[in-house]
């Protein structure tokens, strides 16, 4: 039943099917990448703080960030070069790097937004071509086509629009949900960054 319905949608159902598979793959990959463990691995702050306190040159802290996977390593690495400029400079560098990482995360979600916007248009395109075909057949028959035949042609043409919307709506919801997940991840990094500045960059005698 469902397969017959898909076949009635015409050639435009092929790119719609590809878009749906691509959206699912992107959503799963982004869901994993935006998990808290990936963005800010457990124990990162403790390890970075120990490296920061144990080596005044900052080399140990930089090496620790390079070994760490995830956005937190990039964010905290930005503060290392400012360690001798005062805790306020360190905090500002971490904040700026966090904003850049947030933009990277948001950019990585844009393909989902594109898919959500394109699928309804593809569906509409399929419907337009289907309608043209249905009325062309009516014109070729000299207007003698039965109402049932015309209705069947229109019915088949509308399948692609329904398919496009069926794909676009959940993909758009996924995009919004993953965007919120990215925001929460960055907010968490900001909180941890503030905690680091208070407990290490400020209290350990960094010049102010």
Domain limits at 157?
Answer: 2-202
Q: What are phi and psi of 82, to 5 degrees?
A: -105, 10
Confidence check: pLDDT of 207 > 80 = no
Q: 208 in a domain, yes or no?
A: no
Q: 186 in a domain, yes or no?
A: yes
Tens of pLDDT, residues 23-36: 999 999 989 888 87
136 CA to centre of own chain = 42
Q: 36 in a domain, yes or no?
A: yes
Q: 207 in a domain, yes or no?
A: no
Cα gap 24→110, rounded to integer Å: 14
Tens of pLDDT, residues 30-76: 898 888 777 888 888 888 888 888 877 778 888 888 887 778 888 88
Q: 23 in a domain, yes or no?
A: yes
Higher pLDDT, 168 or 65: 168
Cα gap 121→115, rounded to integer Å: 10
**What is the number of domains present in the chain?**
1
Tens of pLDDT, residues 103-124: 888 888 999 999 999 999 999 9
Name the 3-class secondary structure at 204.
coil
Cα–Cα nearest to 17, from 179, 159, 198, 146: 159
In Å, what is the CA distance from 6 to each residue of 2, 109, 122, 123, 127? 6, 28, 14, 12, 13
**170 exposure class (CB count in 10 Å sphere: 0-12, 13-18, 19+):** middle
């Amino acid at each position: 039943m469902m397969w017959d319905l898909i076949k009635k949608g015409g050639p435009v159902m092929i790119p719609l099917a590809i878009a749906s598979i691509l959206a699912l793959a992107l959503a799963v990959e982004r869901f994993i990448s935006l998990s808290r463990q990936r963005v800010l691995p457990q124990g990162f702050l403790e390890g970075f703080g120990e490296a920061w306190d144990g080596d005044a040159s900052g080399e140990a802290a930089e090496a620790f960030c390079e070994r760490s996977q995830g956005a937190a390593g990039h964010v905290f690495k930005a503060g290392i070069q400012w360690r001798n400029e005062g805790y306020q400079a360190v905090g500002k560098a971490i904040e700026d790097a966090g904003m850049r990482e947030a933009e990277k995360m948001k950019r990585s979600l844009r393909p989902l937004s594109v898919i959500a916007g394109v699928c309804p248009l593809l569906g509409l395109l399929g419907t337009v071509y289907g309608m043209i075909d249905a009325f062309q057949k009516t014109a070729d028959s000299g207007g003698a086509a039965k109402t049932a035949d015309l209705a069947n042609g229109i019915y088949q043409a509308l399948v692609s629009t329904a398919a496009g919307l069926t794909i676009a709506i959940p993909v758009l919801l996924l995009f919004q949900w993953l965007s919120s997940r990215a925001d929460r991840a960055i907010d968490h990094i900001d909180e941890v960054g503030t905690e680091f500045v208070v407990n290490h960059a400020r209290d350990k005698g960094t010049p102010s």
